[in-house]
Each structure stands twice: as C-alpha cells, then as structure tokens.
C-alpha cells in the first residue's frame, strides 16, 4: 500500500501544542506542566483512541424498569465511557480550582480540559456541570455546599458525586422564565425535618441522568427559583435523546413527580442563582470550541504531511498550505483567548472582564468551530468522511457548544445586555485589547472601529439586537488579535491581522493573502 497516512497516536497532545504551552505559563499555570503532559499523553494514547471509538459506537441505553416492572431508570454505559470519565475525574478536571484554590488553578484545569477533550468531548459534559455547580452552591446555599462539596470535588470516580442541570423545558430553553415546572413548599418535609419543595413538571433536556444531584429551575410561589434535587424518588427519566453528536453522552428527558428540591439562592431569584453555574459551563463551551479546532488542525496537518497528490506532499502544495495555515491561526487565536479568559476565573480583580469576555468569546469561538471542523475534515479528503479518521465525530460534536448554555443569538444578546447593565465589562474588555496598542496598525484601526461601533449601536434610531452578532464578532476579533500581537510569533500575528482585521482575507478558510509565512505557521502549529 502506498501513500497511506500513519496513525496520529501515540502522541503527547501537550508537547506538540506550543500555543497552549506558552499560554499555560503566561497565564499563571506553569506549575501544571507535569499534569498537562500526563493528560496530553494519555489522551493521545492508542488506548484512549480505542476507548473513545467504542464509547461512541456503543451508545448509552436507558432502562426505565426491571423485569418485575419496578422503576429503575438506569443508564447502561459502555465500559469505555467509564474509562474516559474516570480519567477526567482522577485528573481533577471537575474540581481542581475548588480543591486547590491557588493562583493559576483555573488555568491549569482549562489546559487539562483542552487536552482531555482530545480523548472524548462527551465525558466533559458531566465534568463541566459538576465543576460549575460548586460556585452556585457556595453562593446560593452554603449549607448544601458543605454537605455536597466533599463528594462533588473528590477525585475518586467510584466514591465521588456528579452534578447535572435541568433548566430547559419543551416550551423554551433560552427563555427560562417561561418554565412551567412547579415547586410547592412543604414545611418540615425534609429528612431532617427541614423545609423542602416538591417539584412537578417536565424537563426537555437533562444531560447525564446518572448524576447524583441536579440544579433545577422551577416556579415557586415567589417566582422562578433554583433547587438542588437529589437523584431518586420523584424523578423519572423518560427517554434518551437521539442526538447529532456527543453520542456517547446520554442526554435525557425528565419528568418530576414531587421530587424534593432544596432552595439554592433566594426564592424567586433562580436566574441569578443558576447564572453562577452557567458562567462556568460557558467557559467550558469556549474551551471545547478551541479544543475541537486544535484537534482538527493537528489532524489536517498530520495528514497533509504524509499524503501526496500530483507528485508532491499535500503540505507542500500552496493551496493546501493556505488552508492549513488559516486553520492554524484560527486555532491559536482561540486557544490564546480561552486560556486568557480562564485566568480571569483565578483573579477576583478580573471579574468585570471575566463575565464580559466569557460571553463574547463563547459566542465567537463556538461559532467558528463548526466551519473549522468541516474544513479540517475536508483536508483528509474521503478519509475524513469515514468514521475511522475520527473527523466525523469532531464535525458532529462541533455545533453543540454554540447551542448549549446560550445559542448564538442568545449569547450575542447577552453581551448587549452586559454592555447596558454591567457597565464595567466593556471598558475592562477594551482595556485588555488595548494592551497591544501600537503593536500592529491593523489592530489599532480595528480597535478604533470596534470602540465606535459599541457606542453607536445604542444610539437613537439604531437597532442593537439586529447588529448584536456583528458587534460581538468585532470584539472577539479584537481580543484574539491583541493576544496574538502581544504573544504569538510574528508570522501568526501578521497572518491573523491581515486576514481577520485588515480585510485581506477571504470568506472561507484557505484565503490568507499572499505574503503570509505559512511555513513558519505550520512548523509552529505541529512541530515535525
């Protein structure tokens, strides 16, 4: 057999990711290099690849009743799923910053998420929800945090606990205020005679039903409220979703028949209570988008180096070099932004930037991820369309980040809302972008335009919602450009500024202008 591409694995995904390695050091996570090499090596092993394929092939099954007709609601999961999730839990992807609240802990965790995502994106859903539930519990129900945190943060797959969330209902997911699930107070109804609520209603999406606890939104007498509900009586999982992607991950429909809920936050203040959780899961959506792009870039470059057509390796052919370099700069820009945003979770002083930047970058990176996956898949030709390559899974999984925890429009509108209601966010974001002022004329001009646009969009006669996506896109590009101008090699920063900010690029990947140093970009993106 001639002209066949060797398997990518085994590989240390961290070792070959210079952008991630530099970002980890720069953003305060240098102490996590050893952990990152471990995660990168295990995620890049042949064993991990085979587990991921198997978990994807043997999709989860919901058994609602046993043979005697008793309700059991058990999800059968392939042993490979457990291998993948165990690996994430034992590496503290769900808990590192809460167990070791030291500088850089969120950054190290973000890098570990980006690396383990190469093994399997599906398992990162319960990991992310568990990580994100902790701040919601600490803020909204300290006594529940005391009770549950030791188990939720334990890096022990067999004896720890996992948390899920159930907000979305049939009649609306983005608009959670339209929730109709009811929560009736039961004075002294809890096991220890404490006050609880009985929840009745239906949830249209509830991922990972094996979770031990769920944060659930329901209408209490004072309005929409957030509850911690333990898996058990009063919860019936009706069926699993037949999904486009993340097929190894069970996502369910859930009926609540008087399940006991304990209040998180104040009654009637459910949205701010769960927002603490959602901000953290949004960070993980952003990381997931960057991870997918990185994997697509690596697969595309690897293939092109080992496959020839018309007498020369693909990687040496100018049209392919353009595509690969374009994919690579998009990936590096997304990695740099994701790890910078993760750092803001480590620093209290960065809170204005954190909230704003998470929404902006979640929107943009997740939006870019699907087209990026399609282009990376195409680099492998027909092989990219075949499951063995792993590219169909990458492609199927890509749109999820742009739907979950705020679909595109909802994320963009969230940024608009933040501009008006949290006036410190936009200036903090712009100030971060301006740290690169004077570094590249195209970035400076883009920043000036973006600042002006963010002001004029709200002027009388404007239509801010109609323009929201455009504004968020420009903001996101400004942060990515700023980070690359400050920290990336000149070849990467120059190509990004020319194509994305200077108007010299085209509309699809592979349209970088003449003069960019594609060789330098590719040598960096995947050292030979």
Ligand X SMILES: Cc1cc2nc3c(=O)[nH]c(=O)nc-3n(C[C@H](O)[C@H](O)[C@H](O)COP(=O)(O)OP(=O)(O)OC[C@H]3O[C@@H](n4cnc5c(N)ncnc54)[C@H](O)[C@@H]3O)c2cc1C
Length of the chain: 528
Rounded least distance, CB 221 to ligand X, Å: 22
32 DSSP assignment: G
Q: What φ, ψ does residue 264 adopt, rounded to 5°?
A: -115, 120
Which residue in 403, 422, 464, 504 binds ligand X (CB under 6 A)? 403
Stretch that binds ligand X, among 8-16, 399-407, 434-442, 443-451 (CB under 6 A): 399-407
Please name which of 421, 426, 409 lies closest in space to residue 470, comparing C-alpha atoms: 409
**Does 455 sit near ligand X (CB under 6 A)?**
no
In this complex, which beta carbon is closest to ligand X, that of residue 99 or of residue 241? 241
Two structure tokens written together for 522: 């590719």
Residue of 41, 174, 317, 467 interacting with ligand X (CB under 6 A): 174
Calpha distance 123→418 (Å, rounded)? 31
CB of 126 to ligand X, least distance (A): 9
The reply on whether position 408 binds ligand X by CB under 6 A is yes
Give CA–CA dist 130/114, Å, rounded: 17
Minimum Å gap between C-beta 298 and ligand X is 25
Tracing tokens 């209290």 back to the chain, one arrives at 348
Angle 15-16-21 from CA coordinates, rounded to 5°: 65
For ligand X, give the closer residue by CB, 17 or 397.
397
Nearer to ligand X by C-beta: 144 or 254? 254
- Of the residues 206, 215, 338, 491, which one makes contact with ligand X according to CB under 6 A: 206
> Is 400 among the residues that bind ligand X (CB under 6 A)?
yes
The full DSSP string for 449-491 is: HHHHHHHHTTSTT--HHHHHHHHHHHHHHHHHHHHHHHHS-HH
Considering only the stretches 153-161, 185-193, 342-350, 403-411, report the one whose residues sit in contact with ligand X under the rule CB under 6 A.
403-411
Q: Kindly state whether residue 281 participates in binding ligand X, applying the rule CB under 6 A.
A: no
Q: How far is the CB of 426 from ligand X (least distance, A)?
A: 20
CB of 171 to ligand X, least distance (A): 8
Distance of CA 333 to the CA centre of its chain: 15
Contact status, residue 86 vs residue 13, Cβ threshold 8 Å: no
Selected binder of ligand X within 173, 201, 265, 510 (CB under 6 A)? 173
Q: Which residue has the tokens 């504004």?
A: 471
Interface with ligand X, residue 205, by CB under 6 A: yes
Based on CB atoms, which residue is closest to ligand X, 80 or 128? 128
**Given the DSSP bridges, would you call strands 213-220 and 163-166 parallel, antiparallel or unpaired?**
parallel
Selected from 135, 155, 172, 439, the binder of ligand X by CB under 6 A is 172
Burial of 174 (0-12, 13-18, 19+ CB in 10 A): middle
Min dist CB 456 to ligand X, Å, is 21
Q: 3-class SS at 321?
A: helix
Q: How far is the CB of 244 from ligand X (least distance, A)?
A: 8
Q: Are strands 71-76 and 223-230 parallel, antiparallel or unpaired?
A: unpaired
Segment 191-199 long-range contacts (CB within 8 Å, at least 24 positions apart) = 194/262, 196/260, 196/261, 196/262, 197/225, 197/227, 197/260, 197/261, 197/262, 197/263, 198/234, 198/258, 198/259, 198/260, 198/261, 199/227, 199/229, 199/234, 199/256, 199/258, 199/259, 199/260, 199/261
Alpha carbons 432 and 487: distance in angstroms, whole number: 13
- Please state whether the peptide bond connecting residue 10 to the residue before it is cis, i.e. omega within 30 degrees of 0: yes
CB of 168 to ligand X, least distance (A): 4
How big is the site for ligand X, counted in residues (CB under 6 A)? 23
Q: Which stretch binds ligand X (CB under 6 A): 276-284, 375-383, 396-404, 435-443?
A: 396-404
Least Å distance, CB 469 to ligand X, is 10
Q: Which of 52, 95, 128, 168 lies at the binding interface for ligand X (CB under 6 A)?
A: 168
Would you count residue 248 as binding ligand X (CB under 6 A)?
no
165 lines the binding site for ligand X (CB under 6 A): yes
**Distance of closest approach, residue 406 Cβ to ligand X, in angstroms:** 7
251: contact with ligand X by CB under 6 A: yes
Q: Which residue is nearest to ligand X (CB)?
A: 173
Assigned token pair, 288? 């997931």
To ligand X, the closest distance from the beta carbon of 361 in angstroms equals 17
C-alpha dist (Å) from residue 326 to 34, 176, 475, 480: 30, 38, 20, 14
> Contacts by 275-278 with C-beta closer than 8 Å and gap 24+?
276/132, 276/135, 276/136, 276/139, 276/140, 277/129, 277/132, 277/133, 277/135, 277/136, 277/165, 277/215, 278/132, 278/405, 278/406
Which range of residues in 75-83, 87-95, 161-169, 495-503 is near ligand X by CB under 6 A? Answer: 161-169
Is residue 520 part of the contact set for ligand X (CB under 6 A)? no
Query: Is residue 409 near ligand X by the rule CB under 6 A?
Result: yes
Q: Which is nearer to ligand X, 251 or 331 (CB)?
A: 251
Q: Is 54 in the site for ligand X (CB under 6 A)?
A: no
Residue nearer to ligand X on the CB measure, 28 or 401: 401
Binding residues among 103-142 for ligand X as defined by CB under 6 A = none
- 472 sits near ligand X (criterion: CB under 6 A): no
Which H or E run includes 186? strand 182-186
Identified binder of ligand X from the candidate list 16, 161, 166, 493, rule CB under 6 A: 166
Confirm or reject binding of residue 246 to ligand X (CB under 6 A): yes
Residues within the interface to ligand X (CB under 6 A): 164-168, 172-175, 205-207, 243, 246, 251, 400, 403-404, 407-410, 413
């Amino acid at each position: 057999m001639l002209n066949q591409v060797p398997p990518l694995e085994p590989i240390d995904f961290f070792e070959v990711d210079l952008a991630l390695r530099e970002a980890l050091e720069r953003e305060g996570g240098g102490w996590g290099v050893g952990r990152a090499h471990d995660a990168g090596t295990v995620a890049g092993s042949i064993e991990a690849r085979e587990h991921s394929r198997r978990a994807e092939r043997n999709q989860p099954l919901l058994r609602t009743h046993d043979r005697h007709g008793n309700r059991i609601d058990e999800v059968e999961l392939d042993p490979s799923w457990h291998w993948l999730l165990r690996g994430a839990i034992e590496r503290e992807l769900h808990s590192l910053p809460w167990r070791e609240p030291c500088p850089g802990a969120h950054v190290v965790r973000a890098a570990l998420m980006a690396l383990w995502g190469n093994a399997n994106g599906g398992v990162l859903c319960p990991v992310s929800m568990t990580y994100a539930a902790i701040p919601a519990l600490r803020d909204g129900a300290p006594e529940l945090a005391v009770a549950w945190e030791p188990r939720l943060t334990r890096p022990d797959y067999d004896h720890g606990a996992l948390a899920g969330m159930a907000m979305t209902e049939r009649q609306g997911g983005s608009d959670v205020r339209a929730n109709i699930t009811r929560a009736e107070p039961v004075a002294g109804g809890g096991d220890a005679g404490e006050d609880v609520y009985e929840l009745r209603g239906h949830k249209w999406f509830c991922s990972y039903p094996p979770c031990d606890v769920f944060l659930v939104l329901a209408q209490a007498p004072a309005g929409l409220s957030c509850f911690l509900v333990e898996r058990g009586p009063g919860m019936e999982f009706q069926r699993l979703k037949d999904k486009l992607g993340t097929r190894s991950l069970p996502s369910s429909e859930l009926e609540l028949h008087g399940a006991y809920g304990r209040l998180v936050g104040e009654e009637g203040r459910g949205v701010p209570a769960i927002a603490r959780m959602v901000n953290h899961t949004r960070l993980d959506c952003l990381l997931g988008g960057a991870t997918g792009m990185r994997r697509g870039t690596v697969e595309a470059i690897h293939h092109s180096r080992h496959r020839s057509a018309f007498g020369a390796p693909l990687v040496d052919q100018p049209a392919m070099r353009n595509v690969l370099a374009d994919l690579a700069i998009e990936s590096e820009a997304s990695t740099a932004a994701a790890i910078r945003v993760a750092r803001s979770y480590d620093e209290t002083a960065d809170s204005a930037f954190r909230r704003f930047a998470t929404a902006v970058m979640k929107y943009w990176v997740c939006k870019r991820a699907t087209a990026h996956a399609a282009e990376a898949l195409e680099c492998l030709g027909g092989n990219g369309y075949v499951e063995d390559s792993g590219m169909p899974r990458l492609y199927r999984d890509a749109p999820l980040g742009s739907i979950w925890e705020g679909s595109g429009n909802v994320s963009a509108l969230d940024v608009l809302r933040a501009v008006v209601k949290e006036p410190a966010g936009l200036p903090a974001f712009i100030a971060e972008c301006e740290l690169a002022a004077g570094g590249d004329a195209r970035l400076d001009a883009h920043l000036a335009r973006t600042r002006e646009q963010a002001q004029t969009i709200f002027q009388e006669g404007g239509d801010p919602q109609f323009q929201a996506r455009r504004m968020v896109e420009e903001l996101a590009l400004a942060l990515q450009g700023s980070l690359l101008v400050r920290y990336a090699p000149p070849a990467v920063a120059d190509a990004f500024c020319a194509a994305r900010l200077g108007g010299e690029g085209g509309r699809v990947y592979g349209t970088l202008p003449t003069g960019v140093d594609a060789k330098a970009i590719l040598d960096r993106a995947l050292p030979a």
